[in-house]
Amino acid sequence: MKKIEINILLFVLIEAFFLLYGIHTNLINILIGTILGLILTLVFSKLKKYTIMKYFLLIITIILLFSVTIKISLFITHNLLKNYSVFLVIISLLIINFFLIKNNYHGFIKSVELIFYFFILIKIISLVLVIPNINLEYFNINLLEELNPNTNIIFIALIILYLHQSIYYLCDYILDKKIYIISIINPIIMKLLAITIIGRTLFNLYKYPYVNILKSIKYLNFFERMEGILSFEYLFSFITLLAFLLLIIKSIIKKTVNYL
């Protein structure tokens, strides 16, 4: 596998985890958590050859799969398919992802790379349309509260460790520090941008503040009500994460069965 493909996958997965679990966490938690995650990754990289790590990974992946599937379905029914059955969304998501990972992981990672360029285009369009709504008044209010660390640091570090261990399990991979730093800076910039648009209080109140920011796009009575299309960037990262989790489970079970 090419280095760029794996690093794109890592970037998308970190964004997906952040959007699902880390939206309301403080900026200092993200910074310290990711540094700690990097240290843990370097330490644990020597342990991948032990079988117990494989089963530990399987258990965590199954737990994450349940949680991620439900969270993604709730995101879709809350923002895109309103008043729709969550159960049907879960089934549709799982079936689509089973087909995505049907073959080996090479095809999946290549697809992620191709869609990523479209994803970047949508991200740039969203940024361009959203930046004029920045209100610098909000930049000063309660920003010091972002510097209060708490136990989320450990959660973030463990997620980073889990991602790296899973990718190491799939294929040989060398950590690219530049991409790693960009994938950490991305959530920090997103959060700062969101706070300067809607304020910290509203940001903490909304369940999906990044979609609420997209609702603020309104120009010339034409560029408005675009949050459905522009939230595709989030949907793409979520589906990639779900497919990745299924892929890890499939790989572990397949290798265990072959071994037996």
Contact positions toward other proteins, by CB under 8 A?
78, 81-85, 88, 92, 95, 99, 138, 141-142, 198-202, 205-206, 215-216, 218
Q: Where are the alpha helices (DSSP H) in the chain?
A: 3-21, 27-44, 51-79, 86-100, 105-130, 152-170, 177-198, 200-205, 209-214, 227-230, 232-259
Q: Which of 129, 184 has the CB closer to other proteins?
A: 129
Query: Smallest distance, Å, CB 169 to other proteins?
Result: 28
To which H or E segment does residue 173 belong? none
Q: Which of 135, 256 has the CB closer to other proteins?
A: 135
Query: Smallest distance, Å, CB 203 to other proteins?
Result: 9
| Three-class secondary structure of residue 202 per DSSP | helix
Query: Smallest distance, Å, CB 81 to other proteins?
Result: 5
Query: Smallest distance, Å, CB 227 to other proteins?
Result: 9
Q: Which of 104, 142 has the CB closer to other proteins?
A: 142
Q: Which of 95, 147 has the CB closer to other proteins?
A: 95
Residue owning tokens 């610098």: 136
Query: Smallest distance, Å, CB 29 to other proteins?
Result: 22
Q: Which of 149, 228 has the CB closer to other proteins?
A: 228
If one counts every other C-beta atom within 10 angstroms of the C-beta of residue 16, the result is 22
Query: Smallest distance, Å, CB 200 to other proteins?
Result: 8
If one counts every other C-beta atom within 10 angstroms of the C-beta of residue 34, the result is 23
Q: How far apart are CA 80 and CA 99, in angstroms?
A: 23
Query: Smallest distance, Å, CB 162 to other proteins?
Result: 31
Q: Which of 52, 220 has the CB closer to other proteins?
A: 220
Note every long-range contact of 149-154, with CB atoms under 8 Å and residues 24 or more positions apart, other chains counting: 149/26, 149/28, 149/29, 149/32, 150/26, 150/29, 152/22, 152/25, 152/26, 152/29, 152/33, 153/29, 153/32, 153/33, 153/36, 154/33, 154/36
Q: Which of 47, 141 has the CB closer to other proteins?
A: 141
Taking a C-beta distance cutoff of 8 angstroms, is the pair 68, 241 a contact?
yes
